[in-house]
Chains A and B, each alone.
Chain A
Amino acid sequence: MGGGSRSAKTRCGCFHTPFASRNAFFDPILDAVCFGYFTADTEKPGENLPGQTVFTCLSQDIIAHEVTHAVVHRLREHFLDPTNQDVLGFHEGFSDIVAIFQHFTFPGVLREAIQETQGKLNQAGPMIELAAQFGHATGRGGALRTALDDPDPKRYQDVVEPHARGSILVAAVFDAFFASYQARIEDLLRIATTGTGVLPEGALHPDLVDRLAGEAADTAQTILTMCIRAFEYLPPVDITYGDYLRALVTADFDLVAEDGAAQRTAMVEAFRRRGIFPEGVISLAEDSLIWAQAVDVAIEPMPPLAIQLQMASSALGFQARAGGARASGDPINKQAYAALHAWAVKHAAALDLDPETKVEVNGFHATYRVRPNGELVIELVVQFVQMLSTLDDSRYGGLPLRGGSTVVASADGDVRFVISKPLPSKTIREGKRQEAESRRQRQLAFVGRHDAEDAAVPWAGEDYFKGRMQVKDFRVIHQGLIG
């Protein structure tokens, strides 16, 4: 069975495609999510019938994971270009995060898990495990992946395989979730244990379970929302876990300045324990982590025409993304993009863009958020992307050097954040020039690391070698792990 959602059409189609394989993946070219089916291992089937037919399209976890890949790709098409060690890990990790936090939306399952673990959700069990049936059915003897780990900065240094690297991100976010959850239930436990902190043996009182479940579900929703909101504050290319941490902190601070549940501190701490540090920050204090606000930058607000068109089109409903070479036939969108493009070229220096390289408008949309006090916040987010070709330099393995900026503005067009990944260029300001060069070095170093580990390099033809860093699809990434 496969499901597809087309960017050119506005409806989603589901259709059968015989696809006998222990795999499920998102195909960016077909713009489809493909789910395979297979027979369970006959010797170690776990809880399945030996030889039972297992459909990956029936797995809540696999669906959530794969569809999230599709969504991430829609929001950031260049997050499939492995320009550094974290890029593919981010795709996998983020998809796992969404899948795991979905577990908390099933009240019955959640209550049962709380009862079984006596509220200690950071223990092995269905809440924090992914794709258990798949894992057992393929003879692994356990779930495919889990949200738990033993925090070890060395792993972040060494591990490159995308799913394993993604697991580090998942574990960090789950760590933050669990810390927040524990803080929230402290008072409940105090009441329940009359101050001793020790829960009685045996079953918990059903009222307590309900309250704990409620807190767990709320916390899960809060953390997941935090993770999703952070997207708006991500650069358009070359993402690192450090960037994501900064985006998490910025997004949350921007909306909920008072650190009520200390979730941001928990997040920073969880990343720190795993050796994940953003580049170019002077400390792990919140002020340092938040993306620099663009207050000093002399830049006029975004073109009003573009804003008006965006608001109008948002009111009409979801429209396809358009811009640059892929501009749709829609005349409204074309106008908006033209205005934004002109604006970007005019303010290239302030936006950390290279005026001598073509600027592509890679997406423009409005975001609608509600503060805790009920206030509606509307913001505008536009992504500009640039590229330097590397076709004649095999050291890059077929991936161009890309740079760009995500610009976040308030509803009246005042630029609030410029989150940039600059291209090496003479005109970019000094501080950013060094950053651009070290980005380039990092990309080359990653190709070198890939080559050292890739067993195919000695045997492969020239075609493979030229495009060896290009990820054609997720099937290839999954093949390392499955089947």
Chain B
Amino acid sequence: MTHPHEETLHLHIDGELPGAERGEVEAHLRSCAECVRRADEVRGLLMRVAMLDREIQPPVDLWQGIVKRIAVENPAPEHDLERLRSRRRVYQALGWIGAIAATLVLGIGLGRMTPGPTAGTVATLPTELSSDVAAHIPAPDTQASVAMLAAAHEEPAYDSAISELETVLYESSQQLRPETIAAIQENLAIIDQAIAEAQGALLADPANEHLRQHIATNKQTKLRLLRTLTTTVTADL
């Protein structure tokens, strides 16, 4: 056999030559030092190339960007990524409730009207919740209380406690400046919306205990806020 063409040699090295032709090239290589040298040169190059990394990590983590793009380009509500993002929005919203509550109480303290009509014109306000309602509201910030809250928040008594305090607050709202009233209404609406979103998410994912406890915790936050607001508003009465 004459010296194989360069391309034939490459095909032989890659194992791509058909049987008969492969035999011929192998036979030639057994007796031709020049072609062995040429083959070794190609193998040497291929060994260097084969040492290059098959995997190279991008300079930054691309995952968040991919999630955002998929959420924008693929907004089907049943898609898991969309559910994941909406659940995340709910958690973020609920997490802001504490900050809103603190701001609201401060705002009420600063925004109260100066004493106006005499105390006699203001309805007598209860300073304690009715005992059957109070019995369902456990102390905050304990693990047991959170678990109890998880059950308690579904109890009609829990919602009735909130409703009772809202009534008290709104009945005494004539003591407050209009802008203060507006601030209270706006912020309570934010809290209510966040709770409603969480309840909506819970409908889609009823086994989600974390979500359930989150709702319970934030209903209690709303309850404490309403207590504080009513106490603040009625303090001088």
Q: Do A and B bind each other?
A: no
